[in-house]
Amino acid sequence: MDLQLTDRVFIVTGGARGLGRASADALVAEGARVVLSGRSQDSLLDAVAALNRAADREAAVAVAVDNSHPDAPGRLMAAADDVWGRLDGALISVGGPPKGAVSAVTDDQWTAAFESVFLGAVRLATKVSSSLSAGGALGLVLSSSVRAPLPEMAISNGLRPGLAMVAKTLADELGPRGVRVNGLMPGRIETERVAELDASTGDAEGARRAAEATIPLGRYGRPEEFGAAAAFLMSPAASFLTGVMLPVDGGLLRAL
């Protein structure tokens, strides 16, 4: 299938590693160009170099900025315009909030997570959407916690469902303009973040085996499998999909 992504330009936040990087890889492989953001300049430059080498063209540029900073949307949009003169959408991936039970999470942790996980994502989606024309697309990388709570992940359980409802509402608002908004709900994908969560239990291998036992496909997902789903959802090939919350989880979620 031709995803019709050639020369389209997307912002990919958290694009230096994990699910953001896997999505950038897939988009670039399909002919798109990406503006990567993240907090580590060195990691971003490494990612840009790798993407450009793989594509044998200028396929990526980087902007070191924190999603929660009010200037982030403007800087990312300006980079797309300065380098390629267009912007077709954004895939908004934010780092996972700290682990902890509701009773153990502090006010400061809630506030910091709200700024980075929730408000930063909403601000970026709102600002970018104002510049998109028909055919534009926004994607929010969320979590299976949108539909079912995860143990010891109180902040994610509290904020991700709210982001999903914002995405659904924004899909209603932007639909008449021909701009689509969707979310992706990754389950257990083999990223550094998931490895850290497994290790935090004190028995990483045991935690992984226990998690795999709950997944119908019997294994963790590969980052490139998530990236392929993200690239499709952002592409014109998915032109009649909006307001969708797509599980990418090997069947982990049991709800319809």
Give the domains, in start order, of the chain with CATH numbers. 9-239 (3.40.50.720)
Q: What is the pLDDT of residue 144?
A: 94
> In the 8-state DSSP scheme, what is residue 189?
B
Residue with tokens 């315009």: 81
Which residues are within 8 A (CB) of 246 and not within 5 positions of it... i.e. 6 or more apart? 182, 183, 184, 185, 229, 233
From CA 154, how far away is CA 189, in angstroms rounded?
A: 20
Are the C-beta atoms of residues 174 and 182 closer than 8 Å to each other?
A: no
From CA 206, how far away is CA 32, in angstroms rounded?
A: 39
pLDDT at 42 over 90: yes
Select from 142, 18, 49, 94 the least CA-distant residue to 28. 49
Q: What is the pLDDT of residue 47?
A: 97
Which residues are within 8 A (CB) of 75 and not within 5 positions of it... i.e. 6 or more apart? 63, 65
Query: How does the average pLDDT of the chain come out, rounded?
Result: 96
Label residue 96 by pLDDT band (50, 70, 90): confident
pLDDT at 70 over 80: yes
From CA 195, how far away is CA 169, in angstroms rounded?
A: 33
* Candidate from 111-115, 239-243, 247-251 with smallest mean pLDDT: 111-115
Coil, strand or helix at 221? strand
Select from 142, 165, 171 the least CA-distant residue to 253. 142
Select from 19, 17, 255 the least CA-distant residue to 139. 19
Handedness of CA 59, 30, 225, 252 (dihedral sign): positive
Each residue of 125-183: pLDDT tens digit?
A: 999 999 999 999 999 999 999 999 999 999 999 999 999 999 999 999 999 999 999 99
Strands (DSSP E) found in the chain? 9-13, 33-38, 60-64, 89-93, 137-141, 180-186, 245-248
